[in-house]
Chain A
């Protein structure tokens, strides 16, 4: 298990748990990032400190700092 910000571009993974303060957690889950959800890291924007994901057929961007609260298991 690792945190989402550790993934490389193109990696696929399954979300295991969502941590962090309640506001962040709720927002992430409301955007469809629920435990058990498969996702793919599309792009790392290291300059802006942002990641782009594909989850539930749609795209989401979140900060590295926020991505550390999402724990995932990579799918080979």
Chain B
């Protein structure tokens, strides 16, 4: 089953070092039409596409994780081996196209050698030949091809140059695999390392070596390099693990160093090969070097970095506003039209407030997702993202985070949803998870109306919010950030304690971004979000609508109906415009009161009552409970829910005086004030920490491929929020505040 040579559609795997244009080659071959799936049993994304070869033959094209070596220290790195060499349950590829950065030839050839050893047909796509020429180097492709024994196709993948040659080479190799199966380039032919290799080869199971001696020996070398006592690679058969471990131990006690022997052997071969095929002029300063002199300058580089990050943040935080406003008014315009056309009724209510608003609830994220991914695409494609990772490495590492977590964390101040999607710029699952879990604690823009309302509610409605209130807002930002960093630190020391990964990366050369591929990536992310997270958000919105709208009770509504009828009658009789205006306003007030009564009576209202004993120790009454439940649709909904619950209507904002006075005069049954400054503070702390956002959970579910992580996120954040609010409220009471 592991061999796909018997099937009619051959499998082509694209492999290569990171930043060598792997995905560009993949997109060029498949025309950008790819299905995104996960590897079996592990949520590492892989793209699968199809290519129609001249002559009508169809082949399946798959990408693989970018890697410098097949040797693995983690289950994710093991994946590269499994995909490239074809180890169960993944099929053995009929062909591996290795993208090679021509300007980093030696290091790229190290991977090429390893793949050739595995006895799979290899084509080298020698990419970025343009940067090579600019840096004054030249590669003799003929010599390189002869030395390697595989077809070498020079390319400039981004402009599509060389693509036709690559397709031609693919055709030839699929017809005659022997053209691309040269056998060992370097092999330990005798001596102690050869004995080691043979000893370990004997422990390789058949499902791995597939009855091929070369491959068996290659896997033995792989095992010697990959297995040691520190790392437990799940998925590696025990016999192999023990074979390699005991062999290493014996070699080390004899004073040998098998790691160095293997790696040095390969590099000696590479060095002599490169010296034959690479010609270089006396070194010129490349364009990348000149740009880096500025962008990585200790002072100027930092200033430019801050400027660039500010632009990204501003674009997300305020730049997306007009578009968001447009979407929101568009949604309410459509809702209004539908409402008018259908007339009042339950179905109308469902369509307008359930479905249309639910669609609006996820469409509204699109401007920010679009912008963030456009920036990320440009930064990745131009080569700047690798520099960001390096510039931020020390700061981020001190909190257990990857340098690349900086942009997602920063985006979290605007909105956690695109920020969580942006964690994909990190290769390791552990790094992504860690960033994702802490991200929703950053103060996102949806919290601002809630904070605004609660800060205003701390003073009597006839007073203006003063200087202290402004400080309080800044404090909430600091508080959210500090909590996010603490949580990151704790998780990185406990649940998500990743094995230590040395930062040994290359700085890719700067390039002008390739707009088509950036744009394709952005569209892919957007449509992916709409399809997966969008559905969950829509369903969630409908559930919350239902909680707030049911059960219906004609008896409860009857008095409001009567009042409205009476007013409407007066309205039809009166002629004076002032009267009409007064009556219309009255009508609206009755409508708002009806909505308030219905909400109090609804399942959400009852739920609010039901959870009151749970939230009372935090100083919250059932009305706040209803607000918290409805805020699950989106945090800012808390404000309009308060408007509805207090009978003012949902068209309120955090500056509404009406709402402030209602909140100010709200009392517990025993006459105590509900919204005291202490309760407002406790509620702000709750909103800072609780996971009051189903869209965040929907996106985490999409990114982690299951409900376990979103459930954990919801649980830990709720517990944290409850605990912190409890502490604030009870300490405040002990200190004599009410």
Residues of A near any B CB (own CB < 8 A) = 18, 21-32, 34-35, 42-43, 45-50, 52, 56-63, 66
Contacts and interface: CB of A to CB of B under 8 A. Distances in A.
B231 A56 contact: no
Interface string B98-112: 000001111100100
A26 B298 contact: no
B430 to A, nearest CB: 15
Contacts of A43: 292, 296
B505 interface: yes
B296 A30 contact: no
Given A34-B260, A48-B390, A57 B507 contact: no
Contact of B503 (A18, A42, A59, A63): A63
Contact of A32 (B267, B289, B392): B267
Interface string B224-246: 01001011000000000000000
Contacts of A34: 260, 263-264, 267
Contacts, number: 112
A25 B259 contact: yes
Contacts of B264: 29, 34
A37 to B, nearest CB: 8
B504 A28 contact: yes
Interface size grouping (class) on chain B: 35 or more
Interface string B292-334: 1000101000100000000000000000000000000000000
Given A21-B230, A30-B71, A63 B298 contact: no
Contacts of A45: 296, 298, 390-391
B606 interface: no
B496 to A, nearest CB: 18
B165 interface: no
A59 B106 CA distance: 11
Interface in B207-264: 225, 228, 230-231, 259-260, 263-264
A49 B393 contact: yes
A58 B106 contact: yes
B393 A26 contact: no
21 contacts: A18-B260, A22-B228, A23-B500, A26-B71, A26-B259, A26-B263, A28-B502, A29-B259, A32-B107, A42-B289, A45-B296, A48-B394, A49-B393, A49-B394, A50-B393, A50-B503, A57-B103, A59-B104, A61-B506, A63-B393, A66-B503
Contact of B507 (A21, A23, A30, A61): A61
A58 B394 contact: no
A4 to B, nearest CB: 12
Contacts of B393: 48-50, 63
Contact of B298 (A21, A31, A46): A46
Contacts of A28: 502, 504
Contact of B502 (A27, A35, A47): A27
A46 to B, nearest CB: 7
Contacts of A63: 393, 502-503
B230 A48 contact: no
A48 B386 CA distance: 12
Contacts of A66: 502-504
Given A23-B73, A32-B267, A61 B502 contact: no
Given A23-B228, A30-B69, 8 more contacts: A23-B73, A23-B499, A26-B225, A42-B289, A45-B298, A59-B104, A62-B502, A66-B504
B390 A58 contact: no
B507 A31 contact: no
Nearest to A17: B260
B504 A60 contact: yes
Closest 3 CB pairs of A and B: A49-B394, A58-B104, A56-B106
B579 interface: no
Contacts of B302: 47
Contact of A48 (B228, B274, B392, B502): B392
A42 B288 CA distance: 12
Contacts of A18: 260
A44 to B, nearest CB: 9
Residue with the greatest number of chain B CB neighbours at <10 A, chosen from A24, A43, A47: A47
Interface in B694-714: none
Given A31-B107, A32-B106, A61 B260 contact: no
A18 B107 CA distance: 18
A31 B504 contact: yes
A30 B77 CA distance: 14
A29 B505 contact: no
B133 interface: no
Interface in B349-401: 390-394, 397
B311 to A, nearest CB: 20
Residue with the greatest number of chain A CB neighbours at <10 A, chosen from B274, B280, B292: B292
B68 interface: yes
Contacts of A31: 68, 107, 504
B137 interface: yes
